[in-house]
Amino acid sequence: MSKAQQRLSQVQSHLASSEADIPRGRETILQKSPDDVVATCALRTPLTRGGKGGFKDTAGADLLAHAFQSLLSRSHIDPNLVEDISVGNVLAPGAGATEFRAAALVAGFPETTAVKALNRQCSSGLQACVDIANAIRCGMIEIGVGAGVESMSSQYGPGAVSEFSELLDNHQEAKNCKVPMGALSEQVASDRKITREVQDAFAARSFQRAEAAQKAGKFDEEIAPMKVKWIDPKTEEEKEIIVDKDDGIRAGMTVEGLGKIKPAFKKDGSIHAGNASQVSDGAAAVLLMKRSTAERLGQTIVGKFVCSSVVGVKPLLMGIGPWKAIPVALEKAGIGKEEVDVWEINEAFASQCVWCVKELGLDEAKVNPNGGAIAFGHPLGCTGARQVSTLFNELGRTRKKVGVTSMCVGTGMGMAAVWVKE
């Protein structure tokens, strides 16, 4: 063997040895690096029933301002250090860009803190967090806030979707983007043979888990109580109340009770108000920075962002988004589904969530262990950010490490993210 061949053999041996020494899977993402993008505070307001609950008379921007103020108070971060804020929203005109900039100023951020609003339907809150994380990772900013908010009490309704032009209406797949989600979910339930009994069992479990979690105080740590003005619908008297709990959680919910509710979208359908996500109001916020920055500033690290995925599916199959997005996120993270401790998957409808969990082969005990959107609500732009605080809270309480958040997205998309508890 020539000297050149010997040297090549040595190099190949060293490379093989190095590759063998590289940790794989869960071990890899549990390692700590100064460049990790970490969260040092993640919180939310309570979630309240749209048009009926504690926030029915409170503007979405006010909910957001309170989430911002609570984030600053709990984290003790100097607001002058926060360079950018990204806010997810679905229903406000222009995604709320103008009033959310104003909300940041009211909350105590200086004019030097930039603010943007974005709308990627039900994943808007997660997209906001991911945008900030990626801006930190690439060096565009050092510290930022990902947030989400929705006042469905004031802005939910037919006006939320624009009329399609003739060009869009004449393209069948494009036209499918405006088919109502309830109708889509009925079709998924029918095509995938997800019976009403199965959906109601899933929904009942969500309510029961949420009721038990609320009674045990499991949500208290992630919730920032808020004092608001509230008009009594019976007397029309304006009162000042403190909202400190999710008010959509119904006690004593059973499969039998859900079985008495009439279908919402088809006379002989399987989807109804009890096995679909609630119309709700709420806001959430997550403070993000590099690990090295957090350590330098003495910030307490809650957890870290690992990676995310976003995918497209057929518009008529909107609900299967998590089924497609989750494997992509796991692949990016280099882990398998068995290495995930907790899954927070948005319960837009029991039909689609049941199907995704089953097709992915997930352990149901790990999916939404404290209930989900069916039980306590889905303020559209808020949910993706809300899931982060709920996930970290549960991972910390149970002393677990790896979690995934995910949701289906209107018009046919899915999104997912992998997180690690500190």
pLDDT 10s digits, 244-260: 999 999 999 999 999 99
Q: Which of 198, 342, 182 is nearest to 276 (CA)?
A: 182
b/e per residue 276-301 (b: at least 16 CB within 10 A): bbbbbbbbbbbbbbbbebbeeeebeb
The amino acid sitting at 362 is L
Distance of CA 247 to the CA centre of its chain: 19
Catalytic center residues: 122, 378, 408
Say if CB 140 and CB 289 are below 8 A apart.
no
Coil vs helix vs strand at 366: helix
Q: What pTM value is reported for the model? A: 0.93
The pLDDT mean for the chain works out to 94
Distance between CA 107 and CA 63 in Å, rounded?
11
Q: Does residue 5 carry a pLDDT above 90?
A: no
Provide the terminal-to-terminal Cα distance of the chain, rounded to the nearest Å: 52
Q: pLDDT tens digits for 141-171?
A: 999 999 999 999 999 987 777 899 999 999 9
C-alpha torsion 384→386→389→395, nearest 10: -70
Q: pLDDT tens digits for 357-412?
A: 999 999 999 999 999 999 999 999 999 999 999 999 999 999 999 999 999 999 99
Q: Which residues, in sequence order, are CB contacts of 264 under 8 Å at separation 6+?
A: 182, 271, 272, 273, 276
Strands 84-88 and 143-151: parallel
Q: Does residue 114 carry a pLDDT above 80?
A: yes
What's the confidence (pLDDT) of residue 17?
Answer: 41
The amino acid sitting at 350 is A
Band (pLDDT 50/70/90 cuts) for residue 15 is: very low
Say if CB 224 and CB 44 are below 8 A apart.
yes
Distance between CA 198 and CA 42 in Å, rounded?
33
Helices 383-398/124-137 angle, 10° precision: 70
Looking at the DSSP bridge assignments, the partners of residue 231 are 238
Percent of the chain exceeding pLDDT 70 equals: 94
What tokens does 45 get? 């307001």
